[in-house]
Structure 1
Amino acid sequence: MSELPMLLSDLQLLRQVIASSAVGTVITDALQDDHPIVYVNPAFERLTGYPAAEIVGHNCRFLQGHSHDQPGAREIRKAMQQQQSVTVTLRNYRKDGTLFYNELSLSPVRNAAGTVTHFVGFQNDVTAREEARHHEAQVHQQLISTLNRMTDGFVSLDRDLNFVYLNAAAAAISGQRPEDFIGQHLFTIFPELAESAVFQTVQRARETGTAQSAVSYLEPFGKWIEATAYPAEDGFSVFTRDVTEHHQDQEQLRMSEDRFSKVFQASPMPIIISRLSDERFIDVNEAFLDQVGYLREEVIGRTSQETGLQVDRVDRDRIASEVSEGSPVQSREVRLHTRSGEHHDMVLSLVLVELEGEPCVVTLARDITAEKVAQRILEESEQRYRRIATELQRTLDLSLDMIASFDAAGCFVTVSEACQQILGYAPEELLGRPYLDFVHSEDQDRTAQEEVSITAGHTTITFQNRYLHRSGTVVWMEWAAVLLPGDSLMYCVARDITERRAAEEDQAYLAAIVQASQDAILGVALDGTIRSWNTGAEQLYGYAAVEAVGQSMALIVPPEFHVEESEMLERVGAGEWLNPFESVRVAKNGRQVPVLVTASPIFDLAGRVIGVSKIAQDISERQSARNEIQHLNEHLQQQLRHVIGLREIDQAIASSSDLTTTLGLILDNVAQELGADAVTLLLLDPHTLSLEYAGTRGFTKPLQGSTVRVGNSLAGEVALSRKALTVPDLQHASISPAWHEVLTRERLMTYYGAPLLAKGKVLGVMEVLHQEPFDPSVTWLETFEMLTAQAAIAVDNAQLLRELDRKNLELRLAYDETIEGWARALDLRDRETEGHSRRVTEMTVQLCQQLGLSSEKLVDVRRGALLHDIGKMGIPDAVLLKPGKLTEEEWGLMKQHPDHAVRLLSLIRFLRPALDIPQYHHEKWDGSGYPVGLKGEAIPLTARAFAVVDVYDALTSDRPYRAAWTRERTLEHIRSGAGSHFDPEVVETFFQLLGG
C-alpha cells in the first residue's frame, strides 16, 4: 500500500503532461470492435474543432470524410491488426469542413499480461509541410522537363552509384529508355565502366570534392563520350556528350547538377523534466536527445544555459518566473541550439509538478522549424524557381566551353560565362548583338553558309571558324549547333581549339627539330621494330634511314644487351618514363659505341602507349674521362686511408700508454693498407737477444714457440742485419721445420720483413706475408716502411714511459721514506706520543677511504697525518716537554704549532695538498677550535676525520700524567662530542669502521 501514493502521483503527473501537451492526443479502446475514442486532450479539440463530448465513443475515421481508402488509412488498419506502431500522414477535415494534413503517430498500449488494451495517437498539423512538398514536386517536375529538353545527357547517381535520374539524351546514348535505369547499379547495367575513365572521373570527384571531366571510349555504346562529374552531398551528377566524331583528349564539359532535397521527418515529441530551484535537468526522453544531438550524460544535472541549448536569458527567466507562480505555460515559442550548432524553433508547454516532495517543471517541446520553413517556401516559391533556373545557368557557366543560343536574326540570346575566358567579352556585352560582328572577316561568309545549312533542315552540324578576341588576337573555335523542332532558337556549343591547332603546327616544327638533332633519335614500335630514324642516328650508327627503318633493334643492340632492351620496351610499354641509363650499341662498321639512352612512351589520342621514343647520345669521350677520374679517385682514397691510418696510430702513440693496444692498431692498419694475409710483430729482448711475438694478425691458430733467437729464422736475420728482407717464394727458403709447418698450414707464399729501428737501436721486426705471389709497388713499399717506422716509435715511446714510471715510483718511495723519518723524529722528541703518528696515519687513511675519498687523495691524507704535528718543531722544549699544566702564555705558544706547520710545509710543492690535516686538525665542529675557528663543513673533511682519530689514539694511549682510557669510555667520550667537537657523520662512519 506504501507504493499507491507514488503511483497516484505518477498517474496525476502523466495526466497533467498529456493535458498540457501542444500535440493532439487521442486514446481508443482496443478491446471494443470499432475502437471507439475514450479520451482526447485539449490540443486535439483545438486541432479538429470537435469538443470531446461530441467525439468520445466514435471511431476516428469520421475525420477523413469520404477519403477512407487513402494510403495512410490502409497503413493504420494494417498496424492495428498487427498490433504495431505506425506514423502516417492523413487528409482530415475539421468540424468546419476545412481540409488539413494530419501527421498521426499511433502506438499500442499493453497491460501487464501483454494484451493490447488501447491505442494512443499523437496528431500534428503538417498542412504547411505537405503543401510545401507539393510545391517542391511541381518545381522538380519543371526542372525535369528542362533537363529532358537538353541535347546533352544528364545522369544523377546516389553515393552507391545507383541511377536516380537520367534524361532522354543520356538514355539515347545507350539506346534504352530512362525507366530501364532507375534504381539499377551503374556496374549492373554497364560492368565494363568499372575500368573506364568515366568511372575514374566520378572517383576523383568523390575524392577531391570538385568537378572532374574526362573523355573515354565506352565499349557498351561504341561511342566516345565526354563526361563531367559533379559531387553532391547525396551522390553525383554527370553530364555526358557524344563526341564520337572528334576523338579529342581532355574535352571537358561542366554541366549543371541539381540537388533534390528531402523533407526532414519530424521526430516524436521531446519531453524534459527539470528542478524548479536550479533549472537543472532531472530527466529527458530519447526524442529530446535525438532532437538536440546530446548524450544523456551530457545534459543530466546541467541547465539549458550550461549546455548551450537556450542562450536567450531574458526569455528563459521570463518562462521560469511564470512557471514558478504555478500557472501552466502554453505554446511558448523559443529557439534552441543543438550540439551541432543548428538553431531549431520550438513550441514549449510547461507545467509545475511535485516529484518526491520537490517542485519540478515538465516541459513538452514541438519542433516547428519545418513549419516555418514550409511557410517561407510557400511565400518564396516563385523566387525558388528563379533561383533554380539561376543555379542551372550557373552550372552551365562552369563549363569551359561557350554555350550560347541565337535567334533567327543571328543575335545572341543567351551565352555562358566561358565567353569571358575565350573571347574576352562579358556575357552582357554579347547579348542582343549579331554573332557575325565577332567572326574573323575571312570566315564570315562561310559561317553564314553554315547557319543557312542548319536552318534548311540539317539537325546538327559541326564546323570550325575564327573569332576575334577583344584584344584583337585570333581564336579558333569549333562549333556544334542544333536547331530543335518547333523552336526558333539555335543552340550552340563552342570550344576554343586555338591551342590544339597550335599543337599541330608545333608537331611539324618538332619533326624538323628531331631531324636536325645531332643525337640519335629513334621511334620504336612495342615489338622492337624501328619506325623512325633521324640524321643523328645515321651519323652515330652508320646506317641510312632506308636501311634501318623496318628492322629490329637487334640491328644495333649487341646480343648481351637483348634482355635489357626487352625489359626496357616492356616497362615503357606500360607507360613508364625511364631515367637516362648507359648502354652499348653496335655501329655498321662493328664498333661498339657507349651511349646514354633516354626512353619515353609515345601515346595515341586515346592515351594508349603505341611506341617508344629513344634518344641516344655518344658518351665515348665522357666515359674515358670518367674512368680516369675513377682511377684517380681510387688512388686518392687509398692515400687518404693511409693518412687516416697514420693519424690514428699517431693519436694512439700520443694518448695511450698501453703498448698492446697501440701495436694492435698498427697491425690492423698494416693488414688493411698492405692487403696482407698475415702480419706479425716481434719485440727484441736486449738481455736475452731473442725476439718475442707481441702481436699477430691473420693466423688461424696461435703461433707455437713464440721466441726467436737473433740470427735464426727469417725474423732473426732481419734483426741481425738491420735491413729489410724479401722472400718471393717461401717454399725454397731456409727456415726451421716448425716455421715451415706454420707456413704450410696457413698457405703463405711470400714474405716481407723489416726491422723496427729507433735512435740507432733495433727494437723488433715487422713481418708481412701473402698467400699468393705478390710483386709490391713502390707505393706499397713506402707504406710498409712508414708503418714500420710508426711501430718503432710506438715501441720506443712505451719503453721510455715504462722507465719514467719506474723512476717516478722510486722518487715517491723516497719522498714517503723522508716523511716517515720526520714523523719518527717528532715521536723521539716527544716520547709521550711515541708511535702515535704511525697509528693515527693508518687509522685516518682507513676512515677517509670509508668516507669515499679517492686513492689519489688518500696519498695526501697519509702524508698530512704523518706530519700533523710537524709544527711542534717550532715550540720550545720547555713548553713542549713541560710535565705540568701549561700557563696561559705557554698554551698560546702551543696553539701556534699549526701555523708553524703551514710555514714549513707550504714551501714544499708536493706537500701543499697535504696541509689540511696539519693546519686544521684542532678545529672543532662548533667553531671553538684553533687556529682559525672554522665551523661545520668549512673545516676540510680530512681534518674532521683526523680530529676523531687523533682524540681516540690519545685517550687510548698511556700518558705520564694519566693511564690509558678503555675503548668503551673513549668511544662514549667521542659520541658525546659529536655535534660540538666532532662532525656527527664522521663519528658515525668511525664507529662503523670500528665495528661498533
Structure 2
Amino acid sequence: MSSPAPRPRADRTQLQQIIAGLTEGVILIDPDQTIAWANAAALAMHGVDTLAELGADVDEYRARFELRYRNRHRVLPGAYPMDRVLAGETFTEVTVEVGRPGEEARWTHRLRSLVLNGPDGIPECLVLVVNDATERYNAEERFERTFNANPAPAIICRLADLRYVKVNEGFQEMTGYTRDGLIGRSVYEIDVLEGAESRDLAIERLGEGRTIPQMEALLTLPAGGTKAVIVAGQPIEMGDEPCMLFTFMDLEPRKRAEHALRQSEERFAKSFRLMPLPCFLCTRDAFRILDINDAFTAILGLATEETVGRALADLPLFADTAARRRFEAEIAGAGMLRGAELPARTADGGVLDCLVSAETLTIGDQDCVLVVLQDITERKRSEGELIAAIEAVMQDTSWFSRTVIEKLANLRAPPGRNRAPAELADLTAREREVLGLICAGLPDADIATRLGISRNTVRNQVAAIYHKLDIHKRGALIVWARERGIQGPGPASPARDGSPDKRRS
C-alpha cells in the first residue's frame, strides 16, 4: 500500500509579512518538525542572525540551544516547548532559560503556543510566540539577592490576598519567626501593624496599596512578648503582582541607650545638685549658664533666675575681667582647667578668693563645661597671718633653737615651690664670712666693724648672698646656714641694756 502524498505547504507569505515587524518573537514550525520561519525578534532573542543558525528543525535546535527551568534543572528532550507544541499541546506561558550547551544561560524566554489548522482541521502550522524576559528576571534576581542580604528586617505581602510571600533573614533574626512559619500566612494572623501609632491610617494605606509612613509599632513574637519597632510600607510589584514591602527598625537598642542615658543624666543631676562646692554648667561656645547648684546660690548669693541663660561676660561673677577672659581662653583651647586662682564676686559685692577647676562634657548633643569653685578666702587669710607672724618672730632668731627655727621656716615656705638647691661653694670667701656673722646675730653695722669694711659693702655682700641662694629674708638665711652647720665665728654683739646675751637651748 502506497503512503499518502505529503500535504502541500500553505502559502504563509502574508502571515510572515504581518508578524515580521512584531516585537514579540515568532517561530513557525511545520508538522514535520521543520523550522519554517522566524522573525527578526525571535532570531535576536537567540543571538543569531539567520534561520539556519537557529536550526533547520527541532533536533538541530535542541543541539544548538540548551534550555533550563527557573530552578536551574535542564529541560529534557521531548519536553522542549517545540516538542510540546508538535505533540499538539497548547500552553499560555512557559518560562525557560536559554543558552549554548555548556555555557551559562544568556536569555530568559516566556513562551506560548498557537496551532494554525487548515480548512480540513488538520494542523498546517505550529507557532511559538516568544517574549524576552531576561531583563525582568535579572532585575528580580538582583532584588532577591539584595532583599535576602539586606540586614534591615523586611517582609513582603501580596496585596491580592494579604499573604506573606517573602521574608529576609534580618526579620527572622529580629523576631524569631522562621520562613516556613511566615510564608503563606496572612497579615491577620501575624499583624506587623499591631500597636502602631496610626494603625487606622496604616490599614487604609495597605488596602489602597499606597505608601505607609514610618510609625512605631509592637510586634508579637513567636516565643511570647513583644518588640518595639519602627515599621514602614512601600508598594512594589513582584512579577505582575502588586505587593507591599514592610521594612522595620528594631527600637530596643535605642530604647536601652535612651534609658541608660536618662539614668546617667539623673545621676549627674543629683551629684551636681548635692555637691557641697559651688558649681555651674555652661555652654562651651558662648559660656552661657545652663544651671547652677544649691551651694552656688548659698555661697555666692546668686539665684537661678539671675544667672541661668546669661553669659559669663554679662554676670558680675568674676571680679577680674582679665582673669575671666583667661579662664574662657583656657577652656576654649585646652578644654579643661585645674586649680586656677580666680577672684569671684558675691551678690552683695564681696570678693572671694577661689580655686577654679573646669572640665568639658557633652550633654545631649551640646558641648558643655562643668565649673567647680572652691572658696579659699579664709585659708589664704590664715596663711597670710601666719606668715606675717613668722616673719615678725624670725627678726631675731637668737631666741629660738635650731629645731624651732627649721619648723617655722618650713611653715613659712610656700608649698610646692621648686628651686635649684644652692650650696656653700656658690659663695665667695667674703660672702661666707658675712654669712657667719649674720648667723651670729650681728647687724650690718657690727659686721662692717668686725670685718673692717663699709656698711655699703656689707649690704652689697648680703644682697649677693640673697640672690645666689634665692632667699629674701634674714631669718630664712639663718635657717639655711644653720642647716649646713654654720653657727657664726663668735658671740653676738652685747644686748643694748648691757646684760649678757641669753639663749635658749
Calculate the TM-score normalised by the size of structure 2.
0.36
Higher CA-based Rg:
1
Greater relative contact order (Cα 8 A, min sep 6): structure 1 or 2? 2
More helix by share: 1
Calculate the TM-score normalised by the size of structure 1.
0.20
